[in-house]
Amino acid sequence: MPELRGVVNGMDCANCVAKVRKNLENTLGIEDVKLNLVSTKLIVEYNSEHTSEKDIIKIIKKAGYGFDHSYVQKSFFNLKHNKNLIFFLVGAVFLVSALIIDSLNVQHHHPLFYIPVIVVGGIPVYTKALNSLRAKTFDIDLLMVVAIIGAIIIDHWEEAAEIIVLFTLAELLEAFSMDKARQSIRSLMDLTPPTATRLIKGKKHEIVPLEDLIVGDRVSVKPGGKIPIDGKIDWGNSNVDQSPITGESTPIVKAVGDQVFSGSINLDGYIIIRVTQMSQESTVARIRQLIEEAEQQKSKRELFIQKFAKYYTPVMVSIALLVFLVPGVFLNIPIDSEILQDWLYQSLVILVISCPCALVLSTPITVVTAITRASKRGVLIKGGKFLEAISDVDTVVMDKTGTLSTGKLRVYKIEALEGYSEQEIVEIAYGLEYHSEHKIAQAVINLGERNNSRLLGYKDVKILPGMGIKGTRKGTNYYLGNETLVDKVLTLKSCDLDCEESESIVSYVLTDEKVIAHIHMSDELRLETKMSIEALKDMGITNIVMLTGDNEEVASKIASELGIDYRAELLPEDKMQYVKETKANDQSIVMIGDGINDAPALALSDVGISMGVAGTAIAIETSDIVLASDDLLSLPYLFKLSKETKRAIRINIFLSLFIKLSFFVLVFLSVSSPPVGSFFGDSLLWLAVLIGDLGASLLVILNAMTVGKKKHEKNR
């Protein structure tokens, strides 16, 4: 089915999204509409027999919005681009002039000097209201036009003018805040240059668009230049700043064969890179896509607020109508009486505070701010619901190898048995593990390469999940794996499993008849592991459990050193079963793993967190949050950010509702209590716009922008 992809320009609140979506979904031939407020990204699936791209774009423009096939960076303060800013400035100048003249008590000017404000300054409001009528959508722009007309009817010209200027300012502030949030996402597009220098036959250079590069091409990067695409260094060496991708502040030395990522900065050496990923599959492209998709994942609070706002406005409008109709219709108060005009005035105030903009903005702008700021720290969050869930967890479970530890094993001892020499064991193990990509296999392969061992050939090589590997050579079956494999192969046979050391990772080399060697490997904890766990405990998270496939002795030693609980000798399905049992006990659980063999447990947990994104697509696919820099100190930062975001959302919701409720109470106090009425006089309407709409929106935006801004120190 054909799709139209692009961005909708001019949206600054949830009503805008609803208006565009409603118009598109009511069009024959439109099958599905995905539209996001923050990124403004639009994806429309349509039936080409009933409609076309041209028709869809016309519908969007008819609703009062623009459309581009790709992001076009434009300054918010560009008057040519942002015409609403011009109307606001003109309206503000006329309003200030009119208020000054009014204060000088010049006779016979009223309402002459307020008319230009209402006519010129209100053009953006009138235009949007007209588009809403065409779209058959009842929104805040229509409510404001009604309030302006009502103020004029009761001879409150100055308040009609003030409503226009203040409401336009509120709309501009909302647009500016959304523009700032969008820039943080679009800034990811600037991480990579649009072109690259491709080498032809190692001599000739040509500048080509990134889209023209294919896997295997060689590109050169000068000192100080940005690395344009994912690849491996083919020639040269340099210090590379990967902070834009992983959040690591320290440059990393990269040499021939090392992986480099698009968006990184080549600091001091000339290097040639061989392309390993197409531009649309690069690390930066995946991160950008991840953040855009994250905006579609609504948190529970955001879904509740959207549902609440859906009913809030109609209820408030109904109350406003009743406030006017009850005195006029049911009490038969004459239409020209001051009492009825007072009630009409109060109904207009209720109309103004019926705008739920600040309330609707309270959650998404806070969440998006948190997600984008976290991404700059190398913490990639797939959606607000996962960020929210983090703050409510009861249990944190962690894989050991590759998570708590570096994951880089090294063989430090070989016990050869049954008359075999150490060299023979290394050759047997090297040939077997050469067919595997497991971390244990890599340690054996590294040993074989260091010793310049022969690479023996095997037939019928088979990976045995959770146990090891099997291969046949010269009629003999050889195995390499853990105790589970030994028990399975040597059932009812005597075997030698007594090792000289217990505090290590041991792999057994065996045939169908006997164990012929023990291979000892060590796996060191990350430098920051202990500090990270202590920080989590300080935050009140006491139920931290290590899940590992290692033997009881190794697991016990590490868990004791870290001061956490553990479960040892687990297969991937055992880890998943532990997560399932924990959830069955009504506990919220977070699982942290390497994103590959821990995938089942990651998928089942309430929040799955993977270590490492650079070059690891599986990490993004299987988890809800990714720690790009493999830095466990990002965990305390993530938990703090979650709590900070949750607190900011609560404050925003409280401020929005409290301000609205305050004006709602003042409306009835001003008509029922003379002292209150005399105190506010005829100023409640413009105050409702200034504080109830503009003020509330501004407070919500400013509070949202503080989330994640202060630095969470990493104590090393």
Considering the domain boundaries, does residue 103 fall inside one? no
Q: Which of 597, 600, 200 is nearest to 611 (CA)?
A: 597
Maximum pairwise Cα distance, the chain: 116
pLDDT digits (tens, 9 = 90+) for 673-707: 555 444 444 567 777 777 877 778 788 888 888 88
The confidence score (pLDDT) of residue 291 equals 65
Identify whether the C-beta of residue 340 lies closer than 8 Å to the C-beta of residue 589.
Answer: no
Domain end marker among 640, 673, 702 = 640
Considering the domain boundaries, does residue 262 fall inside one? yes
Lowest mean pLDDT among 20-29, 313-322, 361-370, 704-713: 704-713
User: CATH number of the domain that 542 lies in?
Assistant: 3.40.50.1000
Alpha-carbon gap, residue 530 to 448, rounded angstroms: 33
Q: Alpha helix locations (H) across 498-633?
A: 529-538, 552-562, 572-584, 599-604, 617-622
Residue corresponding to tokens 């003018």 = 161
Residues 239 and 266 in one domain: yes
Flag whether pLDDT at 548 surpasses 90: no
Query: Apex CA 316: angle with CA 312 and CA 320, to 5°?
Result: 170
Residues 589 and 518 in one domain: no
The confidence score (pLDDT) of residue 403 equals 85
Query: Which residue has better confidence, 492 or 74?
Result: 74
Identify whether the C-beta of residue 420 lies closer than 8 Å to the C-beta of residue 476.
Answer: no
When mean pLDDT is compared over 96-105, 151-160, 333-342, 476-485, the highest value belongs to 476-485
Q: Residue 139: how many CB atoms within 10 A of its CB?
A: 21
Identify whether the C-beta of residue 405 lies closer than 8 Å to the C-beta of residue 526.
Answer: yes
Query: Which residue has better confidence, 531 or 676?
Result: 531
Alpha-carbon gap, residue 265 to 221, rounded angstroms: 9
Amino acid (one-letter) located at 431: G
User: CATH number of the domain that 272 lies in?
Assistant: 2.70.150.10
Q: Alpha helix locations (H) across 187-231?
A: none
pLDDT interval class at 715 (50, 70, 90): very low
Considering the domain boundaries, does residue 170 fall inside one? no
Considering the domain boundaries, does residue 119 fall inside one? no
Query: Which residue has better confidence, 294 or 432?
Result: 432
Full domain range(s) for residue 60:
3-68
pLDDT digits (tens, 9 = 90+) for 256-277: 988 898 888 898 889 999 999 8
Query: Apex CA 195: angle with CA 211 and CA 75, to 5°?
Result: 100
3-state secondary structure of 96: helix
The confidence score (pLDDT) of residue 242 equals 81
Flag whether pLDDT at 217 surpasses 80: yes
pLDDT interval class at 710 (50, 70, 90): low
The confidence score (pLDDT) of residue 612 equals 76
Alpha-carbon gap, residue 211 to 364, rounded angstroms: 33
When mean pLDDT is compared over 175-179, 272-276, 570-574, the highest value belongs to 272-276
Torsional sign, CA 708, 711, 713, 714: positive
Residues 544 and 473 in one domain: no
Q: Pairing between strand 543-547 and 565-567? A: parallel
- To the query of whether residue 399 is one of the catalytic residues in this protein, the response is yes
Domains of the chain: total: 4
Considering the domain boundaries, does residue 338 fall inside one? no
pLDDT digits (tens, 9 = 90+) for 359-387: 777 777 788 788 888 887 888 888 788 88
Q: And the tokens for 495?
A: 């075997």
3-state secondary structure of 292: helix
Torsional sign, CA 315, 318, 322, 324: positive
3-state secondary structure of 161: helix
User: CATH number of the domain that 58 lies in?
Assistant: 3.30.70.100
Lowest mean pLDDT among 37-41, 217-221, 342-346, 616-620: 616-620
Lowest mean pLDDT among 23-27, 137-141, 475-479, 531-535: 137-141
Residues 394 and 532 in one domain: yes
**What whole-number percentage of the chain has pLDDT above 90?**
16
Query: Which residue has better confidence, 441 or 708?
Result: 441
Lowest mean pLDDT among 66-70, 231-235, 490-494: 490-494
Q: Residue 510: how many CB atoms within 10 A of its CB?
A: 24
Alpha-carbon gap, residue 627 to 637, rounded angstroms: 11
Flag whether pLDDT at 712 surpasses 50: no
Alpha-carbon gap, residue 699 to 108, rounded angstroms: 39
The confidence score (pLDDT) of residue 671 equals 58
**Which residues face 371 on adjacent strands?**
none
Residues 422 and 502 in one domain: yes
Can you tell me the mean pLDDT for 486-501?
A: 68
Can you tell me the mean pLDDT for 189-195?
A: 74
Identify whether the C-beta of residue 540 lies closer than 8 Å to the C-beta of residue 590.
Answer: no
The confidence score (pLDDT) of residue 479 equals 94
Residues 507 and 612 in one domain: no
Alpha-carbon gap, residue 320 to 668, rounded angstroms: 11
User: CATH number of the domain that 434 lies in?
Assistant: 3.40.1110.10
Query: Which residue has better confidence, 437 or 177?
Result: 437
The confidence score (pLDDT) of residue 181 equals 63
The confidence score (pLDDT) of residue 283 equals 75
Considering the domain boundaries, does residue 171 fall inside one? no
Domain end marker among 249, 281, 313 = 281
Considering the domain boundaries, does residue 429 fall inside one? yes
Average pLDDT in the chain: 81
Q: Alpha helix locations (H) across 572-628?
A: 572-584, 599-604, 617-622
pLDDT interval class at 537 (50, 70, 90): very high
Residues 453 and 481 in one domain: yes
Flag whether pLDDT at 477 surpasses 90: yes
Identify whether the C-beta of residue 229 lies closer than 8 Å to the C-beta of residue 282.
Answer: yes
3-state secondary structure of 233: strand
The confidence score (pLDDT) of residue 292 equals 64
Residues 589 and 606 in one domain: yes
DSSP string over 418-435: TT--HHHHHHHHHHHHTT
Identify whether the C-beta of residue 81 lies closer than 8 Å to the C-beta of residue 9.
Answer: no
Lowest mean pLDDT among 102-106, 418-422, 480-484, 641-645: 102-106
Residues 580 and 548 in one domain: yes
Identify whether the C-beta of residue 522 lies closer than 8 Å to the C-beta of residue 407.
Answer: no
Identify whether the C-beta of residue 374 lies closer than 8 Å to the C-beta of residue 638.
Answer: yes
Considering the domain boundaries, does residue 610 fall inside one? yes
pLDDT digits (tens, 9 = 90+) for 64-85: 888 888 766 666 677 777 788 8
Flag whether pLDDT at 237 surpasses 80: yes
Residues 488 and 629 in one domain: no
**What whole-number percentage of the chain has pLDDT above 70?**
84
Q: Using alpha carbons only, how large is the chain's radius of gyration in Å?
A: 33
Q: Residue 505: how many CB atoms within 10 A of its CB?
A: 22
pLDDT digits (tens, 9 = 90+) for 586-608: 888 999 987 666 778 888 888 98
Alpha-carbon gap, residue 34 to 42, rounded angstroms: 6
Domain end marker among 241, 259, 281 = 281
Q: Pairing between strand 468-473 and 476-481? A: antiparallel
Q: Is 541 left (phi over 0), alpha (psi -120 to 50) or beta?
A: beta
3-state secondary structure of 107: coil
Flag whether pLDDT at 544 surpasses 90: yes
Q: Which of 139, 399, 598, 624 is catalytic?
A: 399
Residues 270 and 374 in one domain: no
Residues 384 and 434 in one domain: no
Query: Which residue has better confidence, 584 or 298?
Result: 584
